[in-house]
Structures are given as structure tokens and as C-alpha cells.
Chains A and B, each alone.
Chain A
Amino acid sequence: MSDTTQNGSVLAADGTPLKRSLARALRRQKIRALLLIAPLLLFVMLTFIMPIGDMLFRSVENDIVSKTLPRTVVALRDWDANSGEAPGEEVFTALAADLQIAAEAKLHTRVGSRLNYETPGISSLFRKAGRKVKKWDVENDGPFKEQFLKIHKGWGDPDVWRTIQTYSPKFTNGYFLNAADLQKGADGPEWRPEDEQIYWLLFKRTMFMSMVITISCIVLAYPVAWILANLPARSANLLMILVLLPFWTSLLVRTSAWKVMLQQQGVINETLVWLGLVADDARLVMINNQFGTIVAMTHILLPFMILPMYSVMQTIKPTYLRAAKSLGATNWTAFWRVYFPQSIPGIGAGSILVFILSIGYYITPELVGGTKGVFISNRIAFHISSSLNWGLAAALGAILLAVVLVLYWAYDKIVGIDNVKLG
């Protein structure tokens, strides 16, 4: 053969061994594919992955104390937090020097409010001290301990100093402890007082309500998906519009519709009163509570359950059911033993999707949830825009993200990301 050399290896047209030539072609193909993907990957990295990374970083970042009070942090390193006494003069001298610089740059209030998240009351200590320290001569005005105690006797409280010492490292797990209703005590993490434990309750409520929403979606979606999959194509397409129209309608439109319908002076209450089922002075309270959130979110997420179920049920042949019945199964047995097991993949896909979407929901609970029906995401938004405790918001977000990623992974295993279908 002409393309075989003496040593027996097959050659390509240009004389290189075929094996190497093929490998090169494959490599070029891979590079071309990666080059096509690269711009998007970079874009997503910059606009999405890095922000998420930034959030995760912020949930442990804590350099404000060591940056604003560098000398104090060093001086405080040797102080024994369990001694029950405030630290000695050298720490106060360092604090005076640090505070003077910080007060010039107006940074002392920031450190104060950061530490205030951990021990309430510190914020005012720093504010008051900052004002006075500005006028001191740090070199010669010592000793400072007495002067600080004169400004506020809180400076003599070992708890305050323990907080400063605990939060002087550059990184902290304090936000995460806080997000789990724990706090740093004298010896390791301890539970917060009973009346301050709100996040655990919120996580439980978010989980519970997402579960209720998922279950009610399954119950409502199953018959609809079944009838869509079993009707003749023409009528099924018509009915499909009724499913897709809400799916395509703006989320806010649907939320406002539910607000209009569920209000005390709203459409449902008016109808019930007109029918005489409910007395005029005993109108049902259906909004600003858990009920409102569950109803509105079930409606909003229902299409996400119907569509995957429908696509699975379409593939189940109706002959299986008929065969089961002709072999003597009752209606129920035929459904439960033959049809239902085949439809489980659809239920699984829809449930995970609905659950993922609902645990992170913000808009609908915010608008129809009142105080009893809010989710963890509303608390995150509150910490970002109102209380400005960004670290805590980031820690809560990181926990929520972890839950979602586990579910996402499960979804990928069960359904496969490639099999996500739209509309």
C-alpha cells in the first residue's frame, strides 16, 4: 500500500502518522469548541460566579476590627478573657491611639456597629469615646484607663473586651453561628437566649411551607397532567394554553391578582358574603398570613410541576393500563401498580424544581405573606437593605445556597440538566 511506510505505521495525506494527525484534529476540535464557549463562560464568571464568591467571602470576612484597631488587637492578645477584669493600661493606650486615627477617618462608628451585632451596646461606647479621644494628646495625656471609664463605665466590662478579642481575627465563623441562632460564649458556641432564636424558626418555616407548596402542587398537577396526556392532541393543546398563559404572565401580575382576590374587601370575600356563606362582619382573613403565601405560590409554581409531569406521562402508553385491567386488576390497582410507578420520574423532577424555586422565593411572600408568612429570603433582603448587617445576610445566603445546590445536584442526578425543557 502506498500510504504505509517501511515501519508499518499508517500515514495521513500530508505524511504525518495518521494517529498523530487524528489526535491533532481532535485537539483542534476541542479548542474550537472551548473558544466558542469561552466568551460566555467569562461573562458568567464575571457577572455571576464572582458575585456569589464575593458573598461567600463576606460571610466569613472580618478584617474591620483588626484593620481599624491594629494596636489594640495586638495588645489584647495576652489578656485572659476569663480573668473577670478589664485589661490593663497598655491596652487602653493602644485603644486611644487607634481610636484617634479611626475617629479622624470617621471609621470608629463602623467598627462599633460591627461589634454591636455581637454584643448590643458597644456601638454607643465607640461613638462616645470617638468624640472625646479626638481632643486628646495620645503621647502625653495618659494614663487612659481612668479617662475611658469616665466616658462610659462600659469600657470596664470584661464582656466588651472579650467581644473585641473574639472578633479580632481576620476571619470569623461568627456570622454563621449567628445565622444558626448560636453565639460565641466564654467556652465555645452556645445557644442564644430563647427569645432571640429567630433564624432556626425561619429556616424551619421556609422548609415547611416549601414542602406544603410542593405537595399541593403535586396534588393539583397530577390530574391536570394526566388529562393533558390522555386527551386527543387538539383538545390537549387548547387546555395547554390554560397552563402556559399563567406560566408566561408576569409574576407581579399574578401576585397582584392574588392580592386583589384574597383581600378582606377582595373578590373572594365579596362573593362569599354575597352567597351568604360568610357573615359580613366575619370576613375570612386570607392574606398577610401563611395561607395567602401558600395559595399564591402554589398557583405561581403549578406550571413548573405540570410541565415535567406532562412530558413524562406522554410517554406512558395507555395500553399498559388496559392490559392491567384485562388481566383482572381493578381501576385502583391498575393505576397504583402500573401507571403510578411509571409517572414517578415526572413527580420527582417537578417536585425538586418547585421546591428549589419556592425555598428561595422573595417577591410573593414579601407582598402577601405579612409577618407570619415570610421566608428566609425576606430576612436576607432585610439585612442587606435595612439593618445593613451584610455579613449575616451573606451567611444566611450561603446556608440557603448550600441547600439549593444539594437539591440541584440531586436534580442533575435524577433528571439531568440537559433534559430541562421549557414550554
Chain B
Amino acid sequence: MALTPVENQTPGFVAAVAAGSGAFFGLFIGTSQGSGPMGMLVGAVLMALLGFAFTMMTNKENQIRWALAAAFVVAGFATAGLPAAVLGVFFGWFAGWFIFWLATSRYRAHLAPYLTSGQVLWYYTFRVICGVIFVFLITPILVVMPLSFNSQDFFTFTPEMLRFDPAGFSLKHYQDFFSNQDWQNALWNSVKIAPMATLLSVTFGTLAAIGLSQPHVPFRRAIMAVLISPMIVPLIISAAGMYFFYSRIGLQGTYMGVVMAHAVLGIPFVIITVTATLVGFDRSLTRAAANMGAGPVTTFFRVQMPLILPGVISGGLFAFITSFDEVVVVLFVGSAGQKTLPWQMFIGLREQISPTILAVATILVGISVLLLATLELLRRRSERLRGMSPG
């Protein structure tokens, strides 16, 4: 929906702005080919010409954009093969979109009519800045994934990979992960420790959260502060304290010790999510159940639990990921027999740096995507159950 009536821009304006963008990208291409200023000049002139010409032909936008992308691909392929062709697709698409976006004043259409041109410029500059920050957030994760398919033992993109040569890619790091005994032991330990810790923290945490959300709880604030503290106290301090204390009582270096340490670290997350779910819980439901003759246990499992289940599960997921990702505490409380996946990664990063870590990292990113999706579904379900959102 257009807020502002717009008309096509003059060729001069489009050519000038397009030239600016051409100069910007030309600078990079130019420096990589040996001469920055030359690249800037070529880019600017090229984009200016295209901008000037296309402003007259806005009625044939689709055909021109396809043709432009194709031309860039061919030009790229002719000069430097497949990688340049991929870059060409990007530049061709961008140039076509950018020029027509300017020429037809589409950029102005959904903005309020009273904005000055300076404000419009700032609006888009701000979006570009945000885009850069989002790239900063996501790049490290995106870089790790393709690198894990590297066929060399390097931590960088090899020329073969950039040429999309199949020889540059392989699954050997994944193979190493699944065949190497150290990694398999670590994975197995993680799988043994995390669910047990989650079970402990969810059971205790849910009970306590129900207790905490009763209307009259003495010392509520103090209790809450104590229960949340494992999340706030720096891990190294928790680890040091647990190391000292658990060695005194013989838990240091045992499976139970690690499970208990991880369980206590997960408890704040369970408390927070479950109490948040209980805020919207209608107490008259439990009274109604009691009225109809259900005992406290039946009421809990048949009435209260199904309603707060989404909160409990998401708390459990938080507790699980806390234990599954935890390295500082297990490093001190555990012994070689409890070496978890993060511990093995930590050793791998500090001592013998091997690209298998990247394969493990990619698998872990996959797991966190799954968990994130589950959480989002649960959140929506919980809101629907509590009638907080339509739908």
C-alpha cells in the first residue's frame, strides 16, 4: 500500500546514485584485481550508464532485470570461471533491483509523505547499519558450516572450495567425529549426563515453582534470590566452590557429582519459565477439581500439569541445553571418565586444533535450531492455551 503518491525519478538522479553504489562495489573488485581507483571508476561509469538508460524503460522492468543478471553471469564466467559467475548473479540481481527501485521511486512509496529527503536517506542508512549488525550476529555460524565440509585440514576456504570443485569438499571431518573413540565417548557422556540433570532440575524446579506461585509464601523474595543465584554467580566461582566442596564429600570426579552440579545450574531456568507460565494460571480450576472430588495428586496431574506443560518443557529444554553446553563446571567437577562433548571441544580448541571441531559445531548448530523451533512452537501453544493470543 502506497502512503505517498510517487512518480518516476529523473535519469540524472538515478544515474548519480547508481554510480555511487557502482563505485562502492567497484572499489572491492578493483583492489582485488590490483587497482582500486580503476575499479571505482569502471563501476561508477557502468552503473551510471545503466541507470541513465533504464530510467527511460521502466515499463519493461522484468525483462531488463533478467537480461542484466544473465549478462553479469556470462561476464563473470568469462573472466574468472564459476566463483565469479556466482558473484555475477549477485551483482546483476542487485544492479537491476537497485536501479528500478530508484527509478520508479518505490523506495519512497511506503514512507510518510512529509519526510524530507534527508530523513529518507537516514531511514535507509539506519536499515543498512542494522543489516550489518545482523550479519555480525549470524556470520560466525554461517562460516563454520561450509568450512566443516572442507576436504583439507585447514580452517579457511581453500581455492578448490571457492571454485566449487567437488574435490574441495568432503565429509571426512564428520567421518572422523563418528569413528574417533574420543569424540564418541564424549558424545556418549554428554548424552548420559544432560537428560539426568534435566530430569532432576525439572522435577525439583516445577514443584518449587508451584510452591512459589502460591499466594502466601513467607520469604518469597529471599528464596527466589537463592534459587536464581546459580545463574548469576560466575561459572568459575561455582566451579571452584563445587570442586572444593565435592572433593570433601567424595563427589568430585563422579557421575553423580557432575549430574548434580549441572542440575543446579539448570534450576534457575526452570523456575523462571514455569513461574512465568503459572502467572496466567486460573486457580479456580484446581478448586473446581477439588470440589468434584479429585485429590491433590490427581488435580496436579490431570488439571494443572497439562496446562503448564509447555512452560515445563521449555524450562526443561533450557536446563538441557545448559547442561549439554556446559564446560567450566564439568572441567573441575568431572574427571576423565565424565569428559563431555564441550570438554572435548575445549581441549580440541586449546591443544590439537583439528577441523573435526567444525563438524561437531555444525551438528550442534543443527541441534540448537531444532530446540529453538520446538521452543517457539511451545510458546505459541502456551499462549493459545492461556488465551493470551487469538489463533
Once A239-B134, A245-B368 are accepted as A-B contacts, the answer to whether A29 and B216 lie under 8 Å apart by CB is yes
| A250–B367 alpha-carbon span in the complex (Å) | 10
B227 touches A (CB below 8 Å): yes
Q: How far is the CB of A233 from chain B (nearest CB, A)?
A: 11
Main secondary structure of the interface of A (DSSP, over half): helix
| A247–B122 alpha-carbon span in the complex (Å) | 30
Residues of A within 8 A of B119 (CB): 331
**A252 and B342 within 8 A (CB):** yes
**B217 and A33 within 8 A (CB):** yes
**A34 and B227 within 8 A (CB):** no
Residues of B within 8 A of A274 (CB): 32
Partner of A256, one of B28, B130, B245, B345: B345
Residue of B nearest to A277 (CB): B31
A363 touches B (CB below 8 Å): yes
**A248 and B216 within 8 A (CB):** no
Contact with A along B94-134 (1 / 0, CB 8 A): 00000000000000000000000001001000110110011
**B133 and A401 within 8 A (CB):** no
Residue of B nearest to A306 (CB): B137
**A253 and B241 within 8 A (CB):** no
Once A33-B211, A260-B358 are accepted as A-B contacts, the answer to whether A51 and B242 lie under 8 Å apart by CB is yes
Q: Which A38-80 residues sit within 8 Å CB-CB of chain B?
A: 39-41, 43-44, 47-55, 58
| A302–B368 alpha-carbon span in the complex (Å) | 18
Partner of B260, one of A30, A47, A239, A259: A47
Interface size, A (range) = 35 or more
**A422 and B273 within 8 A (CB):** yes
- Of the candidate stretches A5-13, A150-158, A180-188, A261-269, the one touching chain B is A261-269
Residues of B within 8 A of A40 (CB): 204-205, 207-208, 227, 267
B269 touches A (CB below 8 Å): yes
B11 touches A (CB below 8 Å): no
Q: Which A393-423 residues sit within 8 Å CB-CB of chain B?
A: 393-394, 397, 400-401, 404, 408, 411-412, 417-418, 420-423
Once A48-B238, A55-B237, A252-B342 are accepted as A-B contacts, the answer to whether A29 and B215 lie under 8 Å apart by CB is yes
Once A30-B216, A253-B364, A363-B346 are accepted as A-B contacts, the answer to whether A47 and B240 lie under 8 Å apart by CB is no
**A356 and B218 within 8 A (CB):** no
Once A249-B365, A263-B155, A266-B155 are accepted as A-B contacts, the answer to whether A37 and B143 lie under 8 Å apart by CB is no
| A134–B147 alpha-carbon span in the complex (Å) | 63
- The winner among B127, B129, B349 for most chain A CB atoms within 10 A is B349
Q: How far is the CB of B109 from chain A (nearest CB, A)?
A: 16
Main secondary structure of the interface of B (DSSP, over half): helix
Q: How far is the CB of A167 from chain B (nearest CB, A)?
A: 20
A270 touches B (CB below 8 Å): yes
**B263 and A47 within 8 A (CB):** yes
Residues of B within 8 A of A381 (CB): 236, 239, 332
Once A223-B126, A227-B130 are accepted as A-B contacts, the answer to whether A256 and B264 lie under 8 Å apart by CB is no
A362 touches B (CB below 8 Å): yes
- The winner among A41, A44, A48 for most chain B CB atoms within 10 A is A48
**B368 and A248 within 8 A (CB):** yes
**B217 and A37 within 8 A (CB):** yes
Q: What are 11 A-to-B residue pairs whose CB atoms are below 8 Å?
A: A40-B227, A51-B246, A55-B241, A252-B342, A263-B156, A299-B137, A359-B234, A384-B240, A404-B233, A421-B272, A423-B314
**Chain B residues packing against A (C-beta within 8 Å):** 28, 31-32, 34, 36, 119, 122, 126-127, 129-130, 133-134, 136-141, 143-144, 147, 154-157, 200, 204-205, 207-208, 210-212, 214-218, 221, 223-230, 232-246, 248, 260-261, 263-264, 267, 269, 272-273, 275-276, 314, 318, 321, 324-325, 327-328, 332, 342, 345-346, 349-350, 353, 357-358, 361, 364-365, 368-369, 371-372, 375, 379
With A35-B211, A246-B140, A394-B244 given, name 4 new contacts (CB 8 A).
Answer: A242-B134, A244-B372, A250-B342, A263-B156
